Amino acid sequence: MQIHEMCHKTGLTKKAIEYYQVKGLISPKIYENGYREFSDKDLSILNEVAMLRKLDLGIEEIKQVLDSNDRKRTLTFIKHRKEMEVKAKSNRLDLLEQLINGADNKEISDKLDLLDHQSTMKERLLAVFPGYYGRYLSLHFGYFLNEPLRTNEKKRLFNRVVEVLDNMESIEIPKDLQTILDEINMDMNDENINQIINYMQNAYDDIETYMDKNNEQILKYEEFKKSNEYESSIMSRLLNLYRKFGETSGYYDEFIPIMRKLSPAYDDYYRKMLEANEKFKTVLIDKTVIEINDN
C-alpha cells in the first residue's frame, strides 16, 4: 500500500504517518525512487496508534504499549499515572481560576508551593518508582502513606525509604508465578486493598474473638500446610520466595523499621500483627500439647 491508501484507511494525514515513521513506530519499505510501500502490519499499527492518540497517550507511552508483551498491564500503569496527572491538573486549574478572579501572584505562588508539599507519600512513591514496582508499593503500603510530608524528619525518613527501595535487590520470580501475580495485581485497586487492611485491622484489634470464630478453619489450614499438596502449591512457592527475599534483601532489616518510623499508622498495624502472630502461635502450641497428651 502507498501512503495515500494508508491515509484513507487510517484517517491520518501524510504528515502524521511520516512523523510516526520517523519515531520508529512503523517501518515501510522504501524504494530507490523514494516511494514507500506500507504493509498490512504497518496499517494495523497505525490504526492502533490513531486510537491510542485519541485516548491522549503520548508517543513514548504508545511505544511502551506497542513494545509490551502484556498490554493490559502496561495500559493499567499508564491509566494509573494519568489519573494522578488529572488530579494535579485539576488542582492547578482551580488556582488559575483564582488568578483570573483577582488573586495576586504571591498568593497563587504560595498555594502552588503548598500543593507540592501536600503531595502524599503514596503519590511521591509512584512518581519516583514508575511502572510495576511503584504500583506494587502503592497497593501494599499506600493505605499508610496517604498523607503529605509535613516535617523535615518525615522528609528525611521518606528519602531513606526511597534510597533503600532503589538499592534493594530485585526478587526473581519464575514466569508462571509472575503471570499469576500480574493478574492479581491488575484486578486489585485501592478500594480492594483498603477493605482487606480494614478487615485485618479489625481482626488484630480483637484477635481472640476472631480466632474463636474461625478456629476450625484456622486449624484445618495449618494441617493443610503440612501436606505435600501445599508444598507444591502456588501459595507455598510464592511465600517461600518472599520469605527468602525478605531475609536477604534488607526488606525486614532496613525497609520495615524505616516504614514504621515514617508512618505511625503502619507501625500500629505492624505491632498488632506481631501480637496477633504470637497469640496464634500460642494457640497452635496448646493444640499440639493437647494432642500429645491425648495420645
Q: Is 250 left (phi over 0), alpha (psi -120 to 50) or beta?
A: left
Number of domains in the chain: 2
- Do residues 139 and 230 lie in contact, with contact meaning Cβ atoms separated by under 8 Å? no
Please check whether residue 31 lies inside any domain of the structure. Answer: yes
Last residue of a domain, one of 44, 67, 90: 67
**Does the pLDDT value for residue 245 go beyond 60?**
yes
pLDDT at 135: 67
Segment 242-255 shows an average pLDDT of 83
Cell 535487590 found at: 169
Please check whether residue 174 lies inside any domain of the structure. Answer: yes
Cβ neighbours of 262 (radius 10 Å): 23
All three cell numbers of 155, joined, read 522528609
Note whether 58 and 144 are same-domain residues: no
Note whether 288 and 145 are same-domain residues: yes
Burial of 114-135, coded b for 16+ CB within 10 Å and e otherwise, reads eeeeeeebbbbbbeebeebbbb
Higher-pLDDT residue of 85 and 159 is 159
Close Cβ partners of 269 (under 8 Å, ≥ 6 residues apart): 144, 197, 200, 201, 204
Higher-pLDDT residue of 183 and 1 is 1
Higher-pLDDT residue of 54 and 249 is 54
pLDDT band, very low/low/confident/very high, at 187 (cuts 50, 70, 90): low
Please check whether residue 135 lies inside any domain of the structure. Answer: no
Last residue of a domain, one of 37, 67, 97: 67
pLDDT band, very low/low/confident/very high, at 114 (cuts 50, 70, 90): low
Segment 166-194 shows an average pLDDT of 71
Please check whether residue 175 lies inside any domain of the structure. Answer: yes
pLDDT at 289: 44
Segment 205-216 shows an average pLDDT of 81
Note whether 27 and 153 are same-domain residues: no
Note whether 57 and 177 are same-domain residues: no
pLDDT at 118: 56
Q: What are phi and psi of 26, to 5 degrees?
A: -130, 160
Burial of 238-252, coded b for 16+ CB within 10 Å and e otherwise, reads eeeeeeebeeebbbe
Note whether 264 and 155 are same-domain residues: yes
In the chain, % of residues over pLDDT 90: 21
Give long-range contacts, CB 8 A cutoff, 24+ apart: 133-141. 133/165, 135/76, 135/77, 135/80, 135/185, 136/185, 137/165, 138/80, 138/190, 139/185, 139/188, 139/190, 139/193, 140/193, 141/259, 141/263, 141/266
Note whether 276 and 157 are same-domain residues: yes
**Does the pLDDT value for residue 205 go beyond 90?**
no
Note whether 50 and 150 are same-domain residues: no
Note whether 171 and 280 are same-domain residues: yes
**Does the pLDDT value for residue 185 go beyond 60?**
yes
Domain containing 194: what range? 140-294
Higher-pLDDT residue of 129 and 51 is 51
CATH of the domain at 62: 1.10.1660.10
Note whether 161 and 250 are same-domain residues: yes
Q: Give pLDDT tens digits for 136-149.
A: 777 778 788 877 77
Q: Give pLDDT tens digits for 14-44.
A: 888 998 998 899 999 988 888 899 999 999 9
DSSP calls for the chain = --HHHHHHHH---HHHHHHHHHTTS---EE-TTS-EE--HHHHHHHHHHHHHHHTT--HHHHHHHHH-S-HHHHHHHHHHHHHHHHHHHHHHHHHHHHHHTT--HHHHHHHHHHHHHT-BHHHHHHHHS-SHHHHHHHHHHGGG--SB--SHHHHHHHHHHHHHHHHSPPP---HHHHHHHHHHHHH--HHHHHHHHHHHHHHHHTHHHHHHHTHHHHHHHHHHTTSHHHHTSHHHHHHHHHHHHHHHSSIIIIIHHHHHHH-HHHHHHHHHHHHHHHHHHHHHHHHHHHHHHH-
